[in-house]
Structure 1
Amino acid sequence: MTVITFLGAGSVVFTRELLADLLSFDELRGVTLVLHDIDPERLETAEAIARRTAEQLGATPKIVASLDRRAALDGATYVINAIQVGMYAATVRDFNVPAAYGLRQTIGDTVGIGGIFRALRTFPVLAGIAADMRELCPDAWLLNYTNPMAMNVAYLAAIAPDLKVAGLCHSVFWTVHDLCKLVGVPLDEVDYSAAGVNHQAWLLRWEHRGESLYPRLDARIAEDPELRRRVRMDMYRRLGYFPTETSEHSSEYVPWYLHHDSEVERLRIPVGDYLRISEGNLAEYAATRTAVLAGEPLDLHREATEYAPQVIHSIETGTLRRIHANVANRGLIANLPEGFAVEVPCVVDRLGLRPERVGSLPPQCAAVNRGFVSVGELTVRAMLDGDPRLVRQAAMVDPNAAATLTLDQIWSLCDALTEAHGDLLPDPLRAPALL
């Protein structure tokens, strides 16, 4: 019996999309779906969505909802993790407190001040999940969607190296999808490969019938001045390889853009954009709950299948697929630090998910990645060691914070966010970090 457990199932829109993808596979229409959330109302909504999705697709899964995480994990074959510790209120603090210091952010979920504190809220919960899985479902695959992806996967690799963990993110796929539309080439005729770190990987190969598509992209950029007014296009033109996450994300991982009013205007950077996105997510949740409880049909149309359903289907059926996923760097990328999480091509079949060795990234790409990785390494180490000074040191080496704030401001900001998040943070990291 295949048992798929959803942690954070109350993220109902994402859960709806995953369920629609899963139950669209003939071989998965009779699986057991176990939904877990700590919010009773959101869990009730997720269960209603699961039952409505199955009904609309004519599938017959067994559906179980539980507020008890251990009960939800007991006997799981696959665990899909989509939790958000602290929810919208914590996200608002991650933006408003730094903004008071003059620090601009766009998304705040990956590195930077927002990513550091999101990680520190999430790590204790991940530790509990890992401990429960080792006891209750040690052979299960943990498919993580929770950000900050790279830090979370690196932390899990450090505390539970025996667990089978893969971090899944659709940024590589949608980057290639959108670029193919831009240059007018069908996606299903294109071969591509990317590598780096999550939200800052690089499109190393992008070919149509053996021919690189980069010259076509160069021509499109040359003929359209508005295309040049985006961060990713600017980075590509200067670095030679296209980054695999949106301009909104990419702008806050480097020191070059957000500190300068002129660059924010030139590249149309939407400062604070994730607050608007989060408000939209709350509205969409409310609308979805109202609709499903009123008996209205769900919109199950999907342009593309998410990675987790593909991974599960491949392992269950032996269907060979190649995707991009996040795993610990065990000799996969030679010029990035060993042990931290990297995003690389992976083969998936009945034997599981197996990453491909990339070798060395182009040196300029690895140099940019190392700034990203340094923040993540220090954040993970802060949790492992229980050292609040390492939290400040992670913020000190963050490219965006370092370009904007003095060291005293960075330490003061970390103090303020530590106080603001309170008991969402682990006790050792709430202690004063004295100079």
Structure 2
Amino acid sequence: MYQETQINHVYEKLLTRQQKYQQLLQYLDTKLQEVEISTAQRLIDTQADVLTRYLHESEGWFLETHRKIEQYQKEFSQKIETEQERFQQEIHKQQRSLQKIEAFQTMAQETALEWIQNTQDLISFIHQEYPPEMIDITAETMMLQQAIENYQTGLFESCITLCQTTFSQLTKLRLQAEKKIGLIQTLSISIEQSLNWLIERINSNQQVQAIDQDGKFLDAFVDVDYWTNGKLSELLEEVQTVQYELQQNSYSFSENTLVEILEKKIPKWSSLLVDIVHEARRSALNAQIRYSLAHLILEAAVSQGYKPVYGEYEENDFRRGYITRAVGVDGSEIRIKIDPLENLSFSMSLENRPGSLFSEEEMKKRMMELFQSIRHSGFNLGKIEPIQLLSETSEEEFAEPIRVRRPVNR
């Protein structure tokens, strides 16, 4: 802005000087004409006077005087020509300066327009090639608009400077976006591969081999999602949700989020998959042990004279407790229920039919006899305690049963 004002000031001074020089030349031309006329008149008068005064003088003196007059006229004419030439050169010099200023203004205007076009092209390229999440050029767009306003008001040099600054900032932002895109693409590819591998592992573990009490694989298979109450499906849905969002727009994730997914979440999911599979195998094994334990107790009851009536899982759900019933020769009826606890532990209940003549102490004694008969199978018995009637027992089945519970550890 300062340079533009200075140039305009110089330009105005040059125009003023040119006008003054033109006025001076006109003045000089007028004066020269007056001098020439006056001189000519004086020469004529002088010649007349000389001729009159020295009419009778010698011819040599007359010739000498005439020669001097001619020489004076010649010298005076040469001086006038020299001054005219000097003034003419000065005028040409000022004209060339003005032409240079005009050429500079034209060049500045053309250069400013080129910078505007180049900056606009770069902004258009960034809009087309880069996601808006990767690069924000709001400030640079406003700077370009200001540069255009400067151009329209004739501030070409200011426009050029602002365009150059804007172009430089856009270039830096573009390089930063390139690096960021490269990093995000690399992370996204790694995450995509890891997620595909994890999803493949989850799908391949829908059914896994069951294990026995020693941890050895059996020929039977376990439905992992069933035995973990849908935990495998929840894990698969969580992983697929992240995969879908990543496939839709990976640039919506920050670098830190992608790193967290790759370094923390995926290893966590992998570990969780192992835990889920292990839980499914343990749950299935737990159900089998409940079944075996119930039948061991039932066999002991048979040895005491009871006859098995039925045995089944609650509501036919293998994840719940196992129930067996037996009838004695004296008409008494007992129900044995094995409920699952944590870490392959069980809660066993012995319930007596309503109207039975057995007291609570006799029920405890009978329960001890039954449970002692299964110690050889490796079960550790805990404390025996009376419990209240469970809601699932109907009044028709057992109206007021004597019920004893004891935890069992395998």
- Bucket of the pairwise TM-score, normalised by the shorter protein: under 0.3
How does the TM-score come out when normalised to structure 1?
A: 0.19
| TM-score in terms of structure 2 length | 0.20
Considering only CA atoms, is the larger Rg found in Structure 1 or Structure 2? 2
Which structure carries more relative contact order (alpha carbon 8 Å, separation 6+)?
1
Report the structure, 1 or 2, having the larger helix content.
Answer: 2
